[in-house]
Structure 1
Amino acid sequence: MDSLNNPYELSVGVPSVEVFRRLRTDAGLSDKAPEAVALALPNTWHGVVLHHEGEPIGMGRVIGDGGTAFQIVDVCVHPAHQGRALGKRIMAALTEELERRAPATAYVSLIADGPARFLYEKFGFADTATHDSIGMYRVIGGSHGPSGSRAEP
């Protein structure tokens, strides 16, 4: 698309550690330790960064083992740019790559925060609680069950 008509450009890759952390926190997601981000980003199976007039304003990543299990993570758009179907554009790029390269039997999961579930449903994701499984998570150093009350760091 002509950049005069569409000031948004989606590119394949991952942002720097600093930009990754800023995009997450600007979008209301939890911050991650710089050391952890530096370890994580090179292990991205597929990532995209959305730019507005050269400035990174959104991203999304697919992580996984490359064969049987994948997870979509870090999908976010800066609040000043939300409501313009940019999250949909990021998800389309990630799911298209999964459909192109991942084996047909691969399991793709994600955690939907709040109303983001409606975006993910448009790409074929369903609530696991309606099946024989439920999504679960644990933050290392975080809460270890009902008796733990530590919030995510």
Structure 2
Amino acid sequence: MTVTSPQQPAENFTLSYLSPAVDEFIRLREKIGWGQTDREMAKTSLANSLFHVVLRQQDKLIAMGRVVGDGAMFFYIQDVIVDPGYQRQGLGHIIMENIEAYLQKSVKKGSTIGLLAAKGKEAFYRRYGYQDRSGEVLGLGMCKFI
């Protein structure tokens, strides 16, 4: 995987690698239609993440992404979210470029990087080298939602 230095946001946005606050994380997920998230579950999930990248306009969380996993063999890209009012401005690209820069430093030969793309967003992730699982070699991949 070839990644240049991470892209920085435009002047009116700030980028950080700190976890978002639990309540703002929950609100952002709700804004894009992912439903309500249990507060304690969200708190634990954020605390156990390997990497966060957050974009803000002033103090408002407008975009984020994170990496979860065991930090060695398996890494999963989660919660790449851009507030609907800020979409189509390249913020998702900034999030992914920063995630890719983190992964480039963290993964080793034999590591697996996975993600579950939201329906209709598959082409976005293909730009970063992620491939659809056809099922021919590895199976289609599966998940279970509780």
TM-score, with length taken from structure 1: 0.84
Alignment of 1:22-61 (within 5 A): 22-61=27-66
TM-score, with length taken from structure 2: 0.87
Higher relative contact order (Cα pairs below 8 Å, separated by 6+ residues): 2
- Does structure 1 residue 90 correspond to structure 2 residue 95? yes
Runs of at least 4 residues off by over 4 Å = none
**Aligned equivalent of 1:81, options 82, 86, 103:** 86
Determine the C-alpha separation between the residues in 1 that align with 2:133 and 2:96. Answer: 19
Determine the C-alpha separation between the residues in 2 that align with 1:122 and 1:49. Answer: 21
The count of corresponding residues between Structure 1 and Structure 2 is 139
Does structure 1 conserve the Cα–Cα contact (< 8 Å) formed by 2:77 and 2:114? Answer: yes
Q: Percent identity?
A: 31
Determine the C-alpha separation between the residues in 1 that align with 2:42 and 2:104. Answer: 26
1:136 corresponds to: 142
1:120 corresponds to: 125
Structure 2 unaligned blocks of 5 or more: 1-6
1:102 corresponds to: 107
Determine the C-alpha separation between the residues in 2 that align with 1:56 and 1:70. Answer: 24
RMSD across aligned positions (CA): 1.9
